[in-house]
Chain A
């Protein structure tokens, strides 16, 4: 059975990062997500939000919307933006074995989203990019 979702919408700028993470942390606490999972979720949320700030609206300001709910035993979070179509999951994983001088940081954010959640998927719907994160 699904619970009613909690939603927050804000302008996708880095100044709103704390607003978003506070909201998600509050949701995770209310839904009794265990602390290890909650920490991973918060990192994944930051990575997704920073991606939206950087890529969804390169030339203008736009909104991001976060909705979370419980579906059975799963914690589900959907992150939507109204920017140009972009599937962050299409980015390749970084090479995490390189040494310090060769190491680049690109792609690490998406890698974290994949590694710190149990399931992640992307869809384009009604002019929105929607990233769905699931923690079991």
Chain B
């Protein structure tokens, strides 16, 4: 997994590429937690380059989303598609997270 964060005016855009699995999900959680500790409370996660996700990956997303909710923050997911979307849908996570078709659409809803 590669993790990149770019600060925009209204939100931090996080780009996650590769795999979110039992090994890499803790790395994702740690990286997002550091940003939350630094005061960021609005996130757009761009999954355009995400090839794979398992229940451990979903757990990482859920943990950070819950933390943000506890701080009156928010997170939106952009570009969840293909087989990754199928995993979201089977788990029911597709309906509990805020999903958008593009990073621009997600940013517009945070603004």
Contacts and interface: CB of A to CB of B under 8 A. Distances in A.
Given A103-B62, A108-B91, A109-B55, A36 B83 contact: yes
A101 B69 contact: yes
B56 interface: yes
Given A17-B21, A47-B55, A108-B58, A99 B83 contact: no
A39 B90 CA distance: 14
Contacts of B62: 100, 103, 105
Contacts of B54: 43, 46-47, 50, 109, 112
Contacts of A73: none
Contact of B96 (A43, A100, A115): A100
B39 interface: no
A42 B21 CA distance: 11
A39 B52 contact: yes
Closest 10 interchain pairs by CB?
A96-B92, A108-B55, A105-B59, A39-B83, A109-B55, A46-B54, A100-B96, A50-B22, A115-B90, A43-B54
Contacts of B56: 46, 50, 109
Interface of B: 21-23, 52-56, 58-59, 62, 65-66, 69, 83, 86-87, 90-92, 96-97
Nearest to A115: B90
A46 B69 CA distance: 29
A96 B95 CA distance: 10
A1 interface: no
A16 to B, nearest CB: 10
Nearest to B68: A100
Given A43-B54, A100-B97, A108-B59, 11 more contacts: A39-B83, A46-B21, A46-B56, A50-B54, A100-B66, A100-B96, A109-B56, A112-B54, A112-B87, A112-B91, A116-B90
Given A18-B23, A108-B91, A42 B96 contact: no
A18 B62 CA distance: 23
A90 interface: no
B73 to A, nearest CB: 13
